[in-house]
């Protein structure tokens, strides 16, 4: 497979929290009475954000579960159901893989042993810059003893429903890549996340999100040397065909 980059496709939009959203951070200076289950924040601005790794990992795992292409190479003691490293699987083509071994050693027609990810998922910065930590919510939950009815309360900090974050994904297209398949896989993964959840406590109501796509720009190699301009692809096929069901014009007003 050629390693020549043909183009970059820049996807920008909004991640809207439909319900409260919890992606956990750490608190290295926790004091008595302080939350021990806080959301992740920018250490400088203290704004909550969505790590690109959280969204990308969820996209990949749901795409693999939906297509039945989960890997079987253990990672550590507890992780048995791992990412696929089979180059034939769409998730591997889109998100990359390592450790592939062809059936015939030294087969010149076999795919490479590894391939880097075709997509970059940026951290989702807070769009509502007038928000502050006072607007974060604390959701109280209780574990009940099934026999004695004793209660053990716990608290979960969440970004409130209606909060918006930036969506920025870069799709790299190389020679011999199946561009349509990669586009389809990317937006299929986003649609799956919409009908699942992002972050923690999803089975208890947290983490429902919607994606609103504002722009899809194609930047060829010629663009980067100043010989071409970027092209807007939002309303062109195959992009318009595979977009998440919620488009930028449908975003709900608060």
Question: Which one is predicted more confidently, 23 or 7?
Answer: 7
- Please enumerate in sequence order all residues whose Cβ is within 8 A of that of 156, keeping only pairs 6 or more positions apart, or say none: 22, 37, 138, 139, 140, 141, 200, 201, 206
Cα–Cα distance, 93 to 221 (Å, whole number):
21
pLDDT at 236: 85
pLDDT of residue 178: 92
Query: Does residue 76 form part of some domain?
Result: no
What are the tokens at 15? 């991640």
Q: Is the pLDDT of residue 31 over 60?
A: no
Indicate the pLDDT class of residue 7, thresholds 50, 70 and 90. very high
pLDDT classification of 27: cutoffs 50, 70, 90:
low
Asked whether residue 22 is assigned to any structural domain, the reply reads yes
- The reported pTM is 0.84
Q: What's residue 32's pLDDT?
A: 37
Rounded to 10 deg, the angle between the 52-67 and 179-194 helix axes is 100
Q: What is the structure's pLDDT at 60?
A: 92
Percent of the chain with pLDDT strictly greater than 70 = 80
Owning domain of residue 27 = 5-61+112-219+231-248
Strand-pairing partners, residue 7, are: 173, 220
Find out whether 251 and 212 touch, Cβ atoms under 8 Å: yes
pLDDT in tens, 46-100: 889 999 999 999 999 999 988 877 766 655 566 666 777 788 889 999 998 888 8
3-state secondary structure of 107: coil
pLDDT for residue 13: 93
Q: Using the CB atoms, write b or e for 173-185: b if 16+ within 10 Å.
A: bbeebeeeebbbb
| 10 inside domain | yes
Q: Is residue 254 part of a domain?
A: no
The whole-number pLDDT of residue 254 equals 38
Whole-number Å distance between alpha carbons of 235 and 175: 24
User: Has residue 44 been placed in a domain?
Assistant: yes
Q: What does the alpha-carbon distance between residue 59 and residue 61 come to, in Å, rounded to a whole number?
A: 6
Domain count along the chain = 1
- Report the chain's C-alpha Rg in angstroms: 21
Sequence-distant (≥ 6) Cβ neighbours of residue 12 within 8 angstroms: 166, 167, 168, 213, 214, 215, 216, 217
Residue 153 forms part of a structural domain? yes
Q: Residue 70 corresponds to which tokens in the numbers above?
A: 């989960």
Let me know if residue 140 belongs to a domain: yes
Q: How confident is the model at residue 30 (pLDDT cuts 50, 70, 90)?
A: very low
**DSSP secondary structure, 158-186, as one string:** EBPTT-EEEEEEEEEEETT--HHHHHHHH
What is d(CA 228, CA 216) in angstroms, rounded to the nearest whole number? 16
Domain presence at residue 151: yes
């Amino acid at each position: 497979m050629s390693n020549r980059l043909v183009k970059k496709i820049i996807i920008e939009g909004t991640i809207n929290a439909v319900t409260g959203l919890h992606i956990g951070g750490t608190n290295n200076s926790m004091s008595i009475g302080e939350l021990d289950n806080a959301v992740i924040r920018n250490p400088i601005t203290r704004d909550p954000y969505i790590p690109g790794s959280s969204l990308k990992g969820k996209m990949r795992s749901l795409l693999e579960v939906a297509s039945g292409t989960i890997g079987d190479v253990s990672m550590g003691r507890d992780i048995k159901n791992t990412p696929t490293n089979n180059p034939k699987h769409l998730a591997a083509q889109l998100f990359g893989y390592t450790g592939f071994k062809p059936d015939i050693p030294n087969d010149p027609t076999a795919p490479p042993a590894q391939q880097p990810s075709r997509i970059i998922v940026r951290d989702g910065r807070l769009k509502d810059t007038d928000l502050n930590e006072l607007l974060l919510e604390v959701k109280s939950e209780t574990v009940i003893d099934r026999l004695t009815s004793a209660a053990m309360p716990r608290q979960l900090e969440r970004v409130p429903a209606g909060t918006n974050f930036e969506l920025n994904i870069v799709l790299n297209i190389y020679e011999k890549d199946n561009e349509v398949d990669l586009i389809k896989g990317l937006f299929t993964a986003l649609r799956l996340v919409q009908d699942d959840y992002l972050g923690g406590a999803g089975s208890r109501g947290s983490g429902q999100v919607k994606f609103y796509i504002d722009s899809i720009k194609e930047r060829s190699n010629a663009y980067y040397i100043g010989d071409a301009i970027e092209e807007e692809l939002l309303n062109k096929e195959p992009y318009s065909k595979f977009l998440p069901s919620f488009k930028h014009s449908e975003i709900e007003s608060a």
